[in-house]
Structure 1
């Protein structure tokens, strides 16, 4: 049997948390159960799980706040929100904060497992695409490197994932608000200025190949052309 897949579960109802934990563990998942947002954040930092299942209403730190903080550090880890709320604005808020999916309580364990497996598969396909030929560069998201001839430059986590989304949407406009919410957690003014700085850094790193351009589509976003 393969090694268990590590999942962080943040759920403040002890009985429900234990039921979910035991059910997932029968499916070869290792479940790190936390009963509040602060404990969940510390566990995330220490254990580096592959997926997060977060209850929205939790003591000390709610699921939305927790997700926003984690998204600053990791733009790709899959997040599923558990909610007792059914209001559309709560669902929208969850997705805007970087959530990948949500389940309304009560839910079946089979449905949760199906959604977990779908997100893990999607993430694996993204990261395992291997090195990407970007003009005369070789870009490797997994290693966070950008190679030009024999020179290899290490990118920061945010630089690598920003470039990855530009490459995924090459010759198409990457919407500014989408990437800000995905990588920065919010599309406010200060994050927008930060993103402009990162775009400038990427342009400098790619300047050795003049066929590659990152164009500013004023008021909307950026487009990578090559």
Structure 2
């Protein structure tokens, strides 16, 4: 089973998370501050890192940045009481792969850990016909976006773009890759067309304020749920 580095300065919460993960077969190393977490990372070389954001000596954002200097691929999950988009975006820009807002359920943390590990190992997941995106349901085969009793028909490109954003949710979807795959080339005019479709998707998803599609300048887009 995977090795988890947990960096959490709330000792009681950290022990609960550690015990819960170990019961499910994970091996867990618990650090109680950022500097200790950095030391443990170098020593243990974990398969996944779970970081609290607000910590003494070295906060979670700074620790993630230092981890990324050593390892560009290890999955990083942030645990945070912060919910503002600017904080979430900062975490992703510094190399985070996912985040959970406190308080969180252990089941959700475990699902997210497993999803990141499976994605990294290349294990394919069954393709669902519909996706839950916040309060929306995205019916991919029918190219429809459902919000409560409302239904919105999507164009082919809107549907394909939303699917890719969702499959890479909380991670960067590279602009060039999307242009090559859906438009055939990454010319200036196709880039402007992609921007228009992103704007349309933002409009379609605006009824759920917890959903954001943010620009990562010079790289691409990120669907934050």
Calculate the TM-score normalised by the size of structure 1.
0.55
After superposition, residues 153-168 of structure 1 pair within 5 angstroms as none
Correspondence for 1:12? 9
Larger RCO of the pair (alpha carbons < 8 Å, separation 6+):
1
Correspondence for 1:111? 108
Unaligned runs of 5+ residues in structure 1 are 127-165, 175-218, 222-226
Correspondence for 2:95? 98
Distance 1:220 1:57 in 2: 29
Distance 1:123 1:82 in 2: 20
Correspondence for 2:121? 124
In structure 2, relative to structure 1, the CA distance for the partners of 1:19 and 1:125 (3 Å cut) is: same
What is the total number of aligned residue pairs between the two structures?
A: 135
Correspondence for 1:47? 44
Distance 1:30 1:87 in 2: 32
- 1:83 corresponds to 2:80: yes
Unaligned runs of 5+ residues in structure 2 are 124-173, 187-216, 220-225
Deviating 4+ runs (over 6 angstroms): none
Query: How far is the alpha carbon of 1:72 from its aligned partner?
Result: 1.3
Distance 1:171 1:107 in 2: 36
Distance 1:16 1:38 in 2: 19
Secondary structure of residue in 2 paired with 1:64: helix
Distance 1:11 1:122 in 2: 25
Calculate the TM-score normalised by the size of structure 2.
0.56
